Structure 1
């Protein structure tokens, strides 16, 4: 499989309609019809098989063969609706799995504090890792059920624990202390009982993450070897690898989910080459920083002024739920409010892979590559965590008109144009994206430098952008599949 980065803007609509990643949230074909229901949590009143979107019983689901959920299990279902197929109603659980609505009843979202939600049938063990024959009248616990745990979640250093929870900022982490016995981690249930962390999917309603997982590889039908993007190594059927991250990548006009092989930066396995997916979530990896829009919001310039919306079909420039790449975090002074506010600068459109991957809202409202969005209107998703490039005091000072002295650093960068354009790196056709980015940044820099109305912050932004893209010419990074990575 060869990933390609040359996707046209016109393919975006087709991508949204056909992407396997998008299907995770809208998986239903025309054979299943939606009906309204008010709850998004159900309690199984009877044992239930798991079905596909054709109403056929699934042979496997989330690593379980001939999966059966037992009465008493609680599930969040997706879509806020039930789905009708041949006169029968179903709840969608995600991962292309459904249960019959007749086997469940909607319940009010109940508090899930101090409970573990099981993602697999589980035995109970003592503090030495020996299986208990009886624990409070049970021989084992069942997939989908919840059970009380002992202990409290605590903040933890990022990426220091095998099992952890992501905080509300999607960056910092916490953990429920576990006991490690012979290489396995266990959560304390109290009364001498422990359950393997590998069998837990949620803690107090929050998804449980793991730092790594071992998976077994399978080839595509009719193919012997298993290709690995970003690596020359070939794997065979049955090979086991450890993965430590997950990302979205484009394969032609289709978005695929890929898992990163532990110990590498660029070696990824397509999810279709993994026999059974990891039970817990893995950390999302993207080369660039991505944010998600929390509520419909506007587009701003460097003065903190609202820009006109270039997507008139929407009431605002950016709509709730879209993910966008950003390149910088900075304070912008708002004169009308007499204060500085924190903004993200949207990633410029020259960057490799950016145009083809983003929504029409992002593309149309960022054509000038000078667009900003309020940090309070978005939330961090993945990629490097950005820190403010300036302070509130600097933001206030920098709204004044720039003097010739203020423009010296910018002029010096502009003066290097001939040297850069005569370099082999600039002339190298393999470096076309970096060349276009430099040309675009240079054009902005010249406009800012020649204007008598440019503010200090505009000059600083022009310096930042041109300097960044000049360095990309002087010290180009090798092109990898990660240039196309995006959050799933």
Structure 2
């Protein structure tokens, strides 16, 4: 194992790719020497081997079959480079919060202190405390309804079952809670993956409580229109596809609401990006 940077020889002409399997315009020629520094197990379930990160182009990778390595490298995985994992500090159920800083009424069933998956770090304005607090944005990755309970520890009310699919019918509120809930940083500790930095400041959280104007919503409208027509969903994981559809639902709800705040607009705009990354779009 070579913990650092090593050289590789390109065996045949190819272009590099992103972590999410998109091709770039960067061409590697046969016989070219390149520097690589990490072997990554990619997201695709049918991919054999690793993709290797180019040291001089840290957002680009090349598949194992296209290169010959001088030294073996440390390994990582798509999940470790995409998500941040946090561990509850106690065995008490972990409360979820809405974007407005209030409890959703739903908690994570936490008897075994299982790490939770997150993908963003946000200051939210908490009205009850009249201040901004730091929260992780939760990602319900490969988790179903059985992981969640009411804040008093009782089971959630059984959802109606769709007779055609035999799956629970989720309300719009259920979908928003599923894909856009937050965890107080003070309730958990970092357990691995990406080390995040806050996406806003405490002052931003306070100032963005103003009602958004049509002008404030313009960029969200543009990106929503572009993304809602994207049909090339390449993710194989049902949770990721569900999160993507819910992110579009959230954006649509914010755009339609005359009471939506600037904070809601900014967060809906951000939410569309990591969801696409998790889907490998």
- Alpha-carbon distance in 1 for matches of 2:82, 2:212: 34
- Contact (CA 8 Å) 2:119, 2:274: kept in 1 or not? no
- Contact (CA 8 Å) 1:286, 1:382: kept in 2 or not? no
Q: 2:106 aligns with which of 309, 312, 325?
A: 309
Instruction: Establish whether residue 355 from structure 1 lines up as the match of residue 146 from structure 2.
Output: no
User: Kindly tell me: are residues 362 and 372 of structure 1, through their superposed partners in 2, closer, same or farther at Cα, counting changes over 3 Å?
Assistant: farther
> Hey, what does 1:156 align to over in structure 2?
none
Deviation at 1:414, TM superposition (A): 1.7
- Alpha-carbon distance in 1 for matches of 2:263, 2:227: 22
- Alpha-carbon distance in 2 for matches of 1:472, 1:286: 10
> Hey, what does 1:294 align to over in structure 2?
89
SS in 2 for 1:453: coil
SS in 2 for 1:345: strand
Deviation at 1:338, TM superposition (A): 1.9
Give a deviation string over 1:313-339, Cα, whole Å, max 9, x none: xxxx65572310111111111122121
Q: 2:122 aligns with which of 300, 321, 330?
A: 330
- Alpha-carbon distance in 1 for matches of 2:117, 2:76: 20
- Alpha-carbon distance in 2 for matches of 1:451, 1:291: 33
User: Kindly tell me: are residues 383 and 431 of structure 1, through their superposed partners in 2, closer, same or farther at Cα, counting changes over 3 Å?
Assistant: closer
Gap regions ≥5 residues in structure 2: 5-46, 51-70, 151-155, 157-173
- Contact (CA 8 Å) 1:326, 1:344: kept in 2 or not? yes
Deviation at 1:400, TM superposition (A): 1.8
Instruction: Establish whether residue 231 from structure 1 lines up as the match of residue 49 from structure 2.
Output: yes
- Contact (CA 8 Å) 1:292, 1:323: kept in 2 or not? yes
> Hey, what does 1:378 align to over in structure 2?
188
User: Kindly tell me: are residues 331 and 362 of structure 1, through their superposed partners in 2, closer, same or farther at Cα, counting changes over 3 Å?
Assistant: farther
> Hey, what does 1:450 align to over in structure 2?
256
Give a deviation string over 1:356-393, Cα, whole Å, max 9, x none: 7x971389798531211110111000101111000011
- Alpha-carbon distance in 2 for matches of 1:399, 1:299: 20
Q: Which gives a bigger RCO, structure 1 or 2 (Cα 8 Å, sep 6+)?
A: 2
Give a deviation string over 1:137-196, Cα, whole Å, max 9, x none: xxxxxxxxxxxxxxxxxxxxxx99xxxxxxxxxxxxxxxxxxxxxxxxxxxxxxxxxxxx
- Alpha-carbon distance in 2 for matches of 1:455, 1:440: 19
- Alpha-carbon distance in 1 for matches of 2:272, 2:235: 20
- Contact (CA 8 Å) 1:301, 1:371: kept in 2 or not? yes
- Contact (CA 8 Å) 1:293, 1:320: kept in 2 or not? no
Give a deviation string over 1:21-41, Cα, whole Å, max 9, x none: xxxxxxxxxxxxxxxxxxxxx
- Contact (CA 8 Å) 1:292, 1:321: kept in 2 or not? yes
Length-normalised TM-score, structure 1: 0.34
> Hey, what does 2:215 align to over in structure 1?
405
Bigger radius of gyration among the two:
1
Q: What's the RMSD between the two structures over aligned residues?
A: 3.8
User: Kindly tell me: are residues 380 and 471 of structure 1, through their superposed partners in 2, closer, same or farther at Cα, counting changes over 3 Å?
Assistant: closer
> Hey, what does 1:439 align to over in structure 2?
245
- Alpha-carbon distance in 2 for matches of 1:320, 1:400: 40
Deviation at 1:453, TM superposition (A): 1.9
Gap regions ≥5 residues in structure 1: 1-158, 161-228, 233-260, 268-284, 312-316, 477-488
- Alpha-carbon distance in 1 for matches of 2:96, 2:228: 35
Deviation at 1:265, TM superposition (A): 3.6
More helix, by proportion = 2
- Contact (CA 8 Å) 2:121, 2:199: kept in 1 or not? yes
